[in-house]
């Protein structure tokens, strides 16, 4: 006996009058379309920079040469990259060390008001312009600044402490401006650790230091690594802080790119520097993924 689909009074099958539901995949495609367009634009710009790096000065889109890549291996440019990566690595380590106690307090405090207050204080550097923060550090670290004035009152100094226009001042500025990038991932990882785990370890006789070494740090390791690498990637391309606090005595890769592409109009070599900086950042992020996944497999 054959089945017959119901027919409406108009003669049109009923199933054709019912509204068609869109699949979840179509909704997801609409939602991710803006992000996809932005990522595509970024990839297009990266491809353009890569193409220019193989050009020559005043013939960026015509010539094909590797002269700019060969010039990258001159000692002066290798020293600039070594200084840039050294400052970024040191700032990421210091930022994580400073951020960890703050993140622990944010994750463990029971007062919502105190948690919001600490969060506001942590996020303030992200709300204030880097130029304003850098000029603030100049006022603090200058020869006649606040820090030297305080030290001169406490200790008899013949000469002011030199903290401006050197690596130390730049390092302090980098740590301060990027501290939120370390605090938030660590605090998020610490919130996933139940306080009952710490209490159980304490009941079993573990000291507070042992609890942190064997329980808290291993479980918060993904957040610590994520925060440190975010700070590293952010400070590896920092421009305003080295320019204002370091002056002409601290040259980083970002300042060198500005000089090559702006002052000297050497776009191919500036593109080479940009590509190398991007590759280093991508390699660090890939190493982070391998490191975190390796620790996860060990557990």
pLDDT at 220 > cutoff 70: yes
- Mean of pLDDT values over 212-221: 86
Q: Which of 230, 8, 200, 196 is nearest to 99 (CA)?
A: 230
Task: For 70-115, write each residue's pLDDT tens digit.
Answer: 988 999 999 999 999 999 999 999 999 999 999 999 888 888 888 8
d(CA 22, CA 238): 45
Q: How many CB atoms within 10 Å of residue 96?
A: 24
* Rounded percentage of the chain residues whose pLDDT exceeds 90: 25
In degrees rounded to 5, what are phi and psi of residue 197?
-65, -45
* pLDDT given for residue 9 in this prediction: 55
d(CA 55, CA 38): 26
* pLDDT given for residue 89 in this prediction: 93
* pLDDT given for residue 171 in this prediction: 93
- Mean of pLDDT values over 119-128: 85
pLDDT at 128 > cutoff 70: yes
- Mean of pLDDT values over 182-205: 85
Confidence band, pLDDT 50/70/90 cuts, at residue 18 = low
* Mean residue pLDDT across the chain: 83
The answer to whether the CB of 277 falls within 8 A of the CB of 237 is yes
Q: Which of 238, 277, 284 is nearest to 46 (CA)?
A: 277
Give the angle 249-176-147 at the CA atoms, nearest 5°.
Answer: 70
* pLDDT given for residue 278 in this prediction: 87
* pLDDT given for residue 96 in this prediction: 94
In degrees rounded to 5, what are phi and psi of residue 59?
-145, 55
* pLDDT given for residue 58 in this prediction: 82
Inter-axis angle of helices 112-127 and 75-108, to 10 degrees? Answer: 160
Q: Which of 282, 268, 82, 87 is nearest to 173 (CA)?
A: 87
* pLDDT given for residue 246 in this prediction: 87
pLDDT at 117 > cutoff 60: yes
Inter-axis angle of helices 130-141 and 146-154, to 10 degrees? Answer: 20
* pLDDT given for residue 61 in this prediction: 86
* pLDDT given for residue 159 in this prediction: 75
pLDDT at 295 > cutoff 60: no
Structure tokens at 157: 């100094």
pLDDT at 10 > cutoff 60: no
- Mean of pLDDT values over 137-147: 83
Confidence band, pLDDT 50/70/90 cuts, at residue 297 = low
The answer to whether the CB of 206 falls within 8 A of the CB of 214 is yes
């Amino acid at each position: 006996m054959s089945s017959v689909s119901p027919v409406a009074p108009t003669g049109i099958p009923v199933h054709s009058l019912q509204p068609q539901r869109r699949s979840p995949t179509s909704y997801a495609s609409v939602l991710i379309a803006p992000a996809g367009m932005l990522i595509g634009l970024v990839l297009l710009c990266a491809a353009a920079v890569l193409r220019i790096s193989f050009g020559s000065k005043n013939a960026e889109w015509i010539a094909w040469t590797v002269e700019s890549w060969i010039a990258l291996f001159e000692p002066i440019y290798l020293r600039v990259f070594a200084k840039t990566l050294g400052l970024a690595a040191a700032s990421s380590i210091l930022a994580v060390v400073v951020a960890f106690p703050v993140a622990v307090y944010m994750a463990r405090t029971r007062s919502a008001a105190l948690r919001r207050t600490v969060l506001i204080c942590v996020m303030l550097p992200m709300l204030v312009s880097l130029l304003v923060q850098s000029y603030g550090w100049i006022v603090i670290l200058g020869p006649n600044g606040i820090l030297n004035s305080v030290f001169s009152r406490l200790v008899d100094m013949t000469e002011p402490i030199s903290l401006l226009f050197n690596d130390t001042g730049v390092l302090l500025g980098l740590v301060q401006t990027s501290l939120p990038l370390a605090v938030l991932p660590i605090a998020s990882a610490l919130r996933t650790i139940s306080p009952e785990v710490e209490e159980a370890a304490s009941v079993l006789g573990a000291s507070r230091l042992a609890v942190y070494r064997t329980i808290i740090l291993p479980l918060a390791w993904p957040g610590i690594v994520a925060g440190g690498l975010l700070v590293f990637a952010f400070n590896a391309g920092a421009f305003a802080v080295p320019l204002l606090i370091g002056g002409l005595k601290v040259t980083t890769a970002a300042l060198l790119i500005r000089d090559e592409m702006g002052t000297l109009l050497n776009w191919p070599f500036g593109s080479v520097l940009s590509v190398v900086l991007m590759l280093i950042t991508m390699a660090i992020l890939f190493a982070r993924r391998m490191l975190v996944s390796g620790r996860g497999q060990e557990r």
